[in-house]
Structure 1
């Protein structure tokens, strides 16, 4: 097939922009289009989780986000009866990340920062370009690519022949409809109000939540365009327009008159739904972000899940475009991400119903159990640690994926220490080339990374790996990870774990060699004990074989 572009991305929200950032790093050709003439200035998504910051760090985006955002280290739980329970946020359970905070950043700023990065790479978002239709290039082969018909506001209709098409175009996805992919679920009956404004009476730099018989109200520290983001339930049957006066009535209802609202920058009312596509892939067409799944904003998971979708998919399509992806690798996107989305949709639905139900029985956990148990739960590091591991998305894994493999000589998972294949690579401060670095930064380049750990490795092992996997070229990096002294220079390709934390978090022994293969998205793909590299070579050959589908062949 002759393609105009390897990947056509439809939708320039956070999901589409993150996908473009990763594809840019791999050097494959792509175009990103959006029907909006200008970026949206109204942003419902707000929370940026630690795993998202980790995932965007290779592009230098995370530092810009943390500079622009407002971190929150405390949650104030305002219980009925005027008792307030302070809860530390992300202060335990995520020690193996550089980002031990919940960051609040308007979605518009996230999009601006991602767009600025793409502009620095010479990538332009094509705005005012609306997808009209999709047609398979070969009706008999669903993997042969697509022709997209695109209406341009500045000139007629474009026809774009793409090896892959990714729908990142939101809940009303044209890509999903044109591909005939079902989107199932239902809406919630309640109406919500959302506003960015100033609030007197709320302690700054903390999240405030007010659970009552009538539902909940939450205040998030925003910074700009106003100091606070307010979200709450409207009274059932209240069809009035959202104004400062109605917002103040809502705040009085939940806070008992303790807050004064002023200077709103933006106000809106909306309804929510929980829906998910029956499939995330249709031949060479893929769905990501809200085009694939939507759910309650409880827990701040939505935008983060979409960005994780993009970064799981991008490297696989990049390898496919270069003829280095097996059929199994391409198909693994839907197999890995759909279960994650399903669990998040279910998780947020349960939390949402606990927070909003007016049913006398179903609201008991909120109105009776929460006040009774909150102080003890807030004091428990173990409970908070488990909760933060989930909310931060650091605990997401692909252990059941066909891309996750252990060597035959590795102990069973129950007897092995450290992360398993399919788990995210934990982070730690290490020494490299005589200066402190973070382990995740050293394996962040767009490539597969092989870590040779422990003693006994022949000096020519990196050369053996590169020779055996020569087809990967610059898509393979091999480094040694050793426990070393900060007083000694480690030498080329040597990562020194001077504190011992990297070895501890990886479950490694200074007496036992291991080989760890890290995927381009920062997850461990293969792990084995001993100095035999045949298993690692076989694993990478299986993932990056030429493949049988025509869409995986080089042009």
Structure 2
């Protein structure tokens, strides 16, 4: 007999993306379940990079990013090698909780997110998959069943107000719904990597990523915690070629880089043929796509970061809607904001692929690298200036609506707004500036349960900051009516 259950939100997929969405929704007090077709969590290094925007999101979620900073390996420079020449670039991104990318095993990130869910009493249900998804105007009906071989366990009918598909494109609810997507493949190219401890690291700094460009291929070394390195290779894909092991990958990287690499206990061999896929929309009524269910990127190093940022962006909006704190129009901004980021990431990663597999890197890319005209950061800064949630009436200059608000996150000072709150930053009165209508602004903040007012240094501009730290509204402090009009559109 089929069981029937009801929840506010059903999350399909319990990787970092699904767990991020579930953790934020749990913070809002949403009734939710999170299921995954895998028999249990994966293990191993897998994705190693954590970009500043991802670390900011983790900090807003209340995760102990300070401890993560201490345990991880910072990556401050990216060094390109063209023949005997090398060119270094600073990866610092000022204003983020971590100004540089970190490398860390995905196991550590998974453990942090799992612990966060347990704090809210949310248990991941492994070995469960969706076999039918029926959305309607009021919610989604999902039939769940045990994954894997046939089981005598009965199927379960779940009625959810919303469904978050975060299980990876081609493996979850988006397949059942026939989501349309733009696909681009890169025939004749494969990417390989393995992890190892290198005995000879002369000239390789502990906080440097090194990339070696050669004819039709490239190799690289990324520092990992504990003195390990990830060695990666982009090369022509041999027809019918066998899948190489970790030692073969290390040897291939040594040949391309020209380094006398001696690896101790190389492990975690991996390879793939790159492909990019972007769903035409990240929302289909009551079904919302995040991470791999929405976007697959040619370079997997971006998958976890982009997906966690998707999930955080989506979950705070969905949490507000479910709890009656915000208008459903908030969700209309999700595709606009995150699909734009996905397209930019695809452009960047395709450019990296082209550079890494060029037949003549010296001639094609050498001049631009030497002149510093290549953006070495493969994770661009995230801004939402074009979002329908961004309204800017402030003076020219400084951070604009849609940009991250500088100084909002300060771990050393203990300043970390909760991901369920909007922050209204109001300047104090100062001589020579228009008087601040503090009583009126405080009444406006008190009108909305999710808004918290905070006084800042004297100035003439008021900022309303979203739960993800991006500026929603920027305008003159002596015109509270404009701010009130904005709040009335989106908040409840």
* TM-score > 0.5 by shorter chain: yes
Candidates 392, 397, 401, aligned match of 1:421: 401
The superposition leaves residues 176-197 of structure 1 with CA deviations (integer Å, 9 ceiling, x where unpaired) of 1112211331322212222112
Residue 169 of structure 1 and its aligned partner are, at CA, apart by 0.5
Q: Which residue does the alignment assign to 2:358? A: 357
Q: Is this contact kept in 2: 1:3–1:163, CA < 8 A?
A: no
- What SS does the aligned partner of 1:333 have? helix
Q: Counterparts of 1:90-489 in structure 2 under 5 Å?
A: 90=92, 94-136=93-135, 138=136, 141=137, 144-152=138-146, 155-189=153-187, 190-202=189-201, 203-205=204-206, 206-223=208-225, 227-237=228-238, 239-297=241-299, 300-358=301-359, 363=360, 366-368=361-363, 370-372=365-367, 374-377=369-372, 387=375, 391-393=378-380, 395-407=381-393, 410-411=394-395, 416-427=396-407, 437=413, 441-455=415-429, 456-467=435-446, 469=447, 472-473=448-449, 475-482=450-457
User: TM-score w.r.t. structure 1 length?
Assistant: 0.79
Which runs of no fewer than 5 residues in structure 2 stay unpaired? 430-434
Q: Is this contact kept in 2: 1:450–1:516, CA < 8 A? A: yes
Which whole-Å CA distance do the structure 1 matches of 2:77 and 2:141 have between them? 50
Q: Is the 8 A contact 2:409 2:416 kept in 1?
A: no
Cα gap change, 1:442 to 1:186, in 2 (>3 Å): closer
- Would the alpha carbon gap of residues 213 and 391 (structure 1) be closer, same or farther in structure 2, given more than 3 Å must change? closer
Q: Is the 8 A contact 2:191 2:273 kept in 1?
A: yes
Measured at CA, do residues 244 and 543 of structure 1 come closer, stay the same or move farther in structure 2, by a change above 3 Å? closer
Q: CA RMSD in A?
A: 2.6
The alignment status of 1:516 with 2:490, answered yes or no, reads: no
Q: Deviations over 1:311-367 (max 9, x none)?
A: 111111111112333242121111221122112112211221121133xxxx4xx22
Alignment of 1:4-153 (within 5 A): 4-58=6-60, 59-80=62-83, 82-90=84-92, 94-136=93-135, 138=136, 141=137, 144-152=138-146
Q: CA shift at 1:373, angstroms?
A: 5.3
2: distance between equivalents of 1:448 and 1:403? 13
SS at match of 2:225: coil
Is the Cα contact below 8 Å between 2:231 and 2:250 reproduced in 1? no
Matched, 1:529 2:472: no
Q: CA deviation at 1:161?
A: 0.8
1:488-503 matched pairs, under 5 angstroms: none
Q: 1:148 to 1:458 in 2, by over 3 A?
A: same
TM-score, L = length of structure 2: 0.89
- Alpha-carbon distance, 1:21 to partner: 1.7
How many pairs does the alignment contain? 474
Distance 1:269 1:521, change over 3 A: same
CA contact 2:330–2:389 (8 Å) conserved in 1: yes
Aligned partners of 1:520 and 1:373: how far apart in 2?
Answer: 39
Query: How far apart, CA to CA, are the structure 2 residues paired with 1:345 and 1:65?
Result: 28
Could you say if the C-alpha distance between residues 74 and 350 of structure 1 is closer, same or farther in structure 2, counting changes exceeding 3 Å? closer
279 and 227 in structure 1: CA distance in 2 versus 1, 3 angstrom threshold: same
Residues 422, 524 of structure 1: 8 Å contact kept: yes
Mark the runs of 5 or more structure 1 residues left unpaired by the alignment. Answer: 378-382, 483-509, 546-555
For the residue of structure 2 that corresponds to 1:28, the secondary structure is coil
Measured in 1, the distance between the counterparts of 2:283 and 2:139 equals: 13
CA gap 1:328/1:235 in 2 versus in 1, 3 angstroms: closer
Q: 1:419 to 1:3 in 2, by over 3 A?
A: farther
- Distance in 2 of aligned mates of 1:429 and 1:30: 28
**Maintained 8 Å contact 2:50/2:104:** yes
Is the 8 Å Cα contact of residues 464 and 471 (structure 2) preserved in structure 1?
Answer: yes
The equivalent of 1:549 in structure 2 is: none
Aligned counterparts of 1:406 and 1:234: Cα–Cα separation in 2: 46
